[in-house]
């Protein structure tokens, strides 16, 4: 659940909506939003593709009919000069024997990856690896084993080799000769060399990322993780949606179960592996980061099983390690990025040690020199360091708690400077000299824009101002207000309201409330999006409300730490405080409130419906119904081990409170959900039946954690709309 499934938001300013030309009657329909063949597209226009090259030139990339063109752009005059190394990639691919239709599909995937200075790109075609070489204007096949899948391929830093996975081992192909070599052996059903297992992928390194190997800067070595899964329990998804049954078996450690045993090795180009020592022999640990220093020394970050500390370790030539620093916490420590080293051997370190995410300077002896940034705000991402001028560039929420801005600060912590003026969510891309940056941004009320700025934040050129999509301009959209709501102890919780276009404060309205509620996973974000579901509901006479409880607000770990070992309890208290604010507004019908959530939001909805009587109906999507049923790494970070916190697990359980269900619920779950297992829903239903409680159920055959596909989504939204109309 590290990546939440959120209901996406779009907000249009009242002035814009009122002045727009009418499109039909200005009303949305469910078919316009979701029907597979009748739905409309309300997406904004794509932004111009801009990037910096190694010479700090601004490059625009265009692609049409398989032809990629790049232009050098003068930021001052916006004069464009065609680069000589243009490439008709379609012609290259068809010349290599790839049919035109399939070549165009490959080009669609490759084009967003193309950068000004990189001339070599990998792609997979018919289970083999291929190389697109723009320098030579050729496409060629690198492997010749169509019966075996190669995945997670990555070029070496010197672009002479490519490393990849076949099954559960690492292989290497020399690009010049296209000869293949196997670097690791022993990979099988329970041994993964260089491939992440399920729980490391989902909760540590990032959903969808399976690569567990990292090239050394000199291209002569590869660090990798090796997983022993033999003790990890197997969970089976039966696959009843097809005949014959297509089962999926995944080694999945639930809270308290054995985790995989993991070790860190380094393999050279001959296939010889050197294993690093285990500095925590006899203790259960996690290896949460692996990388290299600029001069080729191995780095790794380790945590204890329940993630109360994090150690950064540096390895010598014999792969013995020393601890450079330790992070600890009154609750849990988040996985942190590896340090950013400077030319003199000192480094910048990101830490949540104060309860807020800030930067710290360490000297060449790895001793703390001091904080670079501080305050009741958080750094969101670090762009880089201009060592010549002694400045760090980063994004932070210092001004806007639900967005971010671009900042610069001196390495000694002086002269904090905000470089962006318009409020919203910004994404900056600096050139390597840190003289200019490309900024793309949007806000709740502002569609995406893109401009080039100098290092002082002065706009050089507004490149894109995409505006409101034409199809949206005639719609009678909700009036949206943003507000902060005080919890009982004074914490300011962020909130959004979608009010009906003809809102009358003297009337009473039913309320559709959406939440996620999971730690550091806010739903109230100052960013544009084109999903109109909440506007549709507002047109139908519902007030739509979204509020982040404190632990979900992403306002620093300090705001989330109080939920440690007691998931559900404080989140519900905050949501009930929000309802009290709503009641005081006078126009909400407090006897007609619906609650909606998916994943952690599904847990929170089912928890709220079984631990309070405040909501009349609930939409419960893919819920964790008892945290003993969820994975070890996520759950134990927040709850500790079940055997050491039985009371906290019991109080956070929906299963144990099923007898107290109040109101009507619709449960939704994909039958092949390998994240929040259907077991959660089945066991919940079993308890509801035993306690004489009614429920509605929507299953999605073959669907995973987030149901996908036009017809599945259409079925889901129809069912939700009917349930809402009939029961609220």
Q: Say if residue 598 is exposed, middle or buried (CB neighbours under 10 Å; 0-12, 13-18, 19+).
A: buried
Quote the pLDDT of residue 86.
Answer: 55
pLDDT in tens, 40-78: 999 999 999 999 988 898 989 888 877 778 899 998 889
CA 248, CA 678: separation in Å to the nearest integer? 13
Q: Which of 462, 469, 561, 573 is nearest to 519 (CA)?
A: 561
What is the model's pLDDT at position 277?
93
pLDDT at residue 295 greater than cutoff 60: yes
Asked if residue 127 has a cis previous peptide bond (ω within 30° of 0), the answer is: no
pLDDT digits (tens, 9 = 90+) for 162-190: 999 999 999 999 999 999 999 999 999 99
pLDDT tens digits for range 316-343: 999 999 999 999 998 999 999 999 999 9
Interval 591-597 mean pLDDT: 98
**Is the Cβ–Cβ distance between 225 and 262 less than 8 Å?**
yes
Alpha-carbon distance 259 to 198, whole Å? 11
pTM: 0.93
Q: Which of 226, 351, 599, 606 is the catalytic position? A: 599
Q: Hey, which residues does 340 pair with through a beta bridge?
A: 348
Question: C-alpha angle with apex 20: 15 to 23, nearest 5 degrees?
Answer: 140
pLDDT (average), residues 11-20: 40
The confidence score (pLDDT) of residue 40 equals 94
Average pLDDT over residues 400-408: 97
Contact present, 175 and 162 (Cβ < 8 Å): yes
**Separation CA 516–CA 379 (nearest Å):** 22
Q: Is 710 a catalytic residue?
A: no
Is the pLDDT at 728 greater than 90, yes or no?
yes
Query: What DSSP string runs through 408-453?
Result: EEETTS---EE---S-SEEEEEE-TTSSEEEEEEE-SSS--EEEEE
Residue 411: pLDDT over 90: yes
169-174 β-sheet, strand order: 150-155, 161-166, 169-174, 179-182
15 pLDDT tier (thresholds 50, 70, 90):
very low
The residues that bridge with 182 in the sheet, in sequence order, are 171
Helix (H) or strand (E) holding 251: strand 248-251
Give pLDDT tens digits for 562-587.
Answer: 999 999 999 999 999 999 999 999 99
Across the range 369-391, mean pLDDT stands at 97
CA trace torsion 531, 537, 542, 544 (10° rounding): -20
Per-residue pLDDT, averaged over 596-603, amounts to 98
Contact (Cβ atoms closer than 8 angstroms) between residue 385 and residue 348: yes
pLDDT at 54 (0 to 100): 83
Report the C-alpha gap between 193 and 190 in whole angstroms: 10
Question: CA 111 to CA 670: how far, in whole Å?
Answer: 33
**By CB neighbour count within 10 A (0-12 exposed, 13-18 middle, 19+ buried), where does 243 fall?**
exposed
Which position among 63, 436, 673, 677 bears the catalytic label?
Answer: 673
In sequence order, the 6+-apart residues with CB closer than 8 A to the CB of 644 are none
Q: What is the pLDDT of residues 70-123, one digit of tens each?
A: 899 998 889 998 876 556 888 899 999 999 889 888 888 887 788 777 888 999
Cβ atoms 184, 225 nearer than 8 A:
no
Give the Cα separation of 373 and 358 in Å (integer): 6
With residue 391 as reference, give the H or E element that holds it: strand 391-396
Query: Percentage of residues in the chain with pLDDT exceeding 90?
Result: 86
* Backbone φ, ψ for residue 722 (5° rounding): -65, -40
For 54, residues 6+ apart whose C-beta sits below 8 A from its C-beta are 116, 117, 432
- pLDDT score of 4: 44
User: What CA–CA distance (Å, rounded) separates 670 from 676?
Assistant: 9
Q: What is the pLDDT of residue 290?
A: 98
Long-range contacts of 577-584 (CB under 8 A, 24+ apart): 577/485, 577/486, 577/487, 577/488, 577/493, 578/485, 578/493, 578/495, 578/547, 578/549, 579/614, 581/485, 581/486, 582/511, 582/545
d(CA 174, CA 4): 40
Quick check: 14 pLDDT over 50?
Answer: no
Mean per-residue pLDDT, 347-367? 97
What does the pLDDT read at residue 9? 43
Residue 182 to residues 147, 190, 262, Cα–Cα distance (Å)? 17, 19, 21
Please give the residue that has the higher pLDDT: either 87 or 710.
710
Q: Is 599 a catalytic residue?
A: yes
Length reported for the chain: 728
Lowest mean pLDDT among 81-90, 134-143, 564-573, 651-660: 81-90
- Report the 10 Å Cβ neighbour count for 637: 23
Residue 485: what pLDDT? 97
Residue 84, pLDDT score: 65
Instruction: Look at residue 137 in the predicted model and tell me its pLDDT.
Output: 87
Grouping H, G, I as helix, E, B as strand and the rest as coil, residue 467 is coil
- State yes or no: is 705 an active-site residue: yes
Partnered with residue 389 across adjacent β-strands are none
Contacts within 8 Å (CB) and 24+ apart, 492-495: 493/547, 493/548, 493/549, 493/550, 493/553, 493/574, 493/577, 493/578, 494/401, 494/402, 494/522, 494/524, 494/547, 494/548, 494/553, 495/524, 495/545, 495/546, 495/547, 495/548, 495/578
Share of the chain above pLDDT 70, in %: 96
Of 187, 119, 117, whose CA–CA distance to 152 is shortest? 187
Q: What is the mean pLDDT of the chain?
A: 93
pLDDT given for residue 337 in this prediction: 97
710, pLDDT greater than 90 = yes
- Which is it for strands 492-499 and 459-465: parallel, antiparallel or unpaired? unpaired
**Do residues 301 and 309 touch, judged by C-beta distance below 8 A?**
no
Per residue in 473-523, pLDDT tens?
A: 989 999 999 999 999 999 999 999 999 999 999 999 999 999 999 999 999
Which range among 120-124, 413-417, 585-589 shows the weakest confidence by mean pLDDT?
A: 120-124
Question: How much is the CA Rg of the chain, to the nearest whole Å?
Answer: 27
For residue 392, which of 455, 319, 451 has the smallest C-alpha distance? 455
> Could you tell me which residues are beta bridge partners of residue 307?
none
Q: For residues 299 and 359, what is the distance between their CA atoms, to the nearest angstrom?
A: 19
Distance (Å, whole) CA 79 – CA 60: 11
């Amino acid at each position: 659940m590290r990546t939440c499934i959120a209901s996406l938001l779009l907000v249009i300013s009242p002035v814009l909506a009122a002045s727009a030309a009418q499109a039909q009657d200005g009303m949305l329909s469910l078919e316009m939003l979701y029907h597979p063949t009748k739905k409309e597209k309300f997406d904004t226009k794509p932004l111009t593709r801009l990037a910096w090259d190694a010479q700090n030139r601004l490059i625009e990339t265009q692609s049409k009919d398989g032809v990629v063109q790049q232009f050098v752009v003068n930021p001052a005059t916006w004069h464009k000069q065609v680069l000589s190394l243009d490439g008709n990639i379609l012609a290259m691919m068809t010349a290599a024997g790839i049919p035109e239709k399939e070549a165009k599909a490959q080009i669609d995937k490759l084009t967003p990856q193309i950068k000004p200075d990189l001339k070599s790109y990998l792609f997979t075609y018919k289970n083999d690896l291929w190389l697109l070489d723009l320098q030579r204007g050729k496409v060629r096949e690198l492997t010749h084993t169509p019966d075996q899948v190669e995945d997670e391929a990555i070029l070496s830093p010197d672009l002479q080799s490519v490393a990849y996975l076949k099954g559960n081992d690492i292989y290497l192909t020399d690009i010049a000769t296209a000869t293949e070599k196997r670097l690791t052996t022993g990979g099988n059903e329970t041994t993964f060399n260089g491939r992440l297992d399920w729980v490391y992928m989902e909760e540590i390194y990032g959903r969808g990322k399976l690569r567990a190997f990292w090239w050394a800067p000199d291209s002569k070595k590869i660090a990798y993780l090796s997983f022993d899964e033999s003790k990890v329990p197997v969970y089976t998804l039966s696959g009843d949606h097809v005949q014959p049954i297509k089962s999926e078996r995944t080694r999945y450690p639930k809270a308290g179960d054995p985790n995989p045993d993991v070790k860190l090795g380094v393999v050279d180009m001959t296939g010889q592996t050197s294993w690093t020592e285990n500095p925590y022999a006899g203790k259960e640990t996690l290896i949460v980061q692996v990388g290299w220093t600029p001069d080729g020394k191995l780095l790794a970050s380790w945590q204890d099983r329940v993630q109360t500390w994090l150690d950064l370790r540096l390895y010598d030539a014999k792969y013995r390690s020393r601890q450079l620093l330790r992070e600890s916490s009154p609750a849990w420590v988040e996985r942190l990025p590896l340090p950013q080293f400077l030319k003199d051997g000192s480094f910048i370190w990101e830490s949540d040690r104060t309860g807020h995410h800030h930067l710290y300077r360490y000297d060449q002896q790895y001793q703390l020199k001091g904080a670079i940034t501080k305050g009741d705000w958080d750094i969101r991402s670090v762009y880089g360091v201009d060592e010549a001028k002694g400045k760090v560039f980063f994004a932070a929420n210092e001004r806007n708690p639900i967005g971010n801005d671009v900042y610069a600060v001196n390495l000694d912590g002086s002269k904090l400077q905000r470089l962006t003026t318009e409020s919203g969510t910004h994404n900056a891309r600096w050139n390597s000299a840190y003289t200019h940056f490309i900024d793309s941004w949007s806000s709740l009320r502002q569609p995406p824009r893109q401009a080039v700025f100098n290092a002082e934040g002065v706009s050089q050129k507004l490149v894109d101002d995409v505006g409101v999509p034409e199809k949206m301009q005639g719609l009678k959209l909700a009036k949206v207000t943003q507000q902060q709501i005080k919890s009982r102890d004074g914490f300011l919780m962020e909130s959004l309201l979608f009010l009906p276009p003809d809102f009358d404060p003297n009337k009473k309205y039913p309320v559709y409330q959406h939440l996620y509620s999971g730690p550091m996973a806010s739903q109230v974000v100052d960013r544009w999006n084109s999903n109109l579901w909440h506007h549709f509901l507002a047109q139908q006479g519902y007030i739509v409300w979204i509020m982040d409880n404190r632990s979900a607000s992403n306002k620093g770990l300090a705001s989330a730490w109080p939920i440690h070992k007691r998931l559900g309890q404080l989140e519900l208290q905050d949501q009930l405080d929000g309802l009290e604010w709503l009641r005081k507004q006078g126009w909400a019908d407090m006897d007609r409130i619906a609650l909606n959530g998916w994943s952690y939001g599904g847990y929170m909805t089912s928890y709220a419906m079984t631990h309070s009587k405040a909501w009349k109906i609930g939409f419960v999507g893919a819920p964790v119904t008892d945290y003993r049923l969820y994975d070890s790494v996520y759950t134990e970070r927040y709850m500790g081990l079940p055997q050491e916190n039985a009371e906290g697990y019991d109080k956070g359980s929906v299963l144990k409170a099923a007898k107290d269900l109040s109101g009507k619920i619709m449960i939704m779950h994909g039958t092949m959900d390998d994240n929040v297992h259907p077991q959660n829903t089945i066991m919940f239903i079993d308890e509801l039946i035993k306690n004489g409680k009614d429920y509605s159920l929507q299953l999605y055959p073959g669907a995973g954690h987030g149901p996908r596909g036009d017809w599945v989504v259409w079925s889901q939204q129809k069912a939700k709309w009917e349930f809402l109309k009939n029961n609220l």
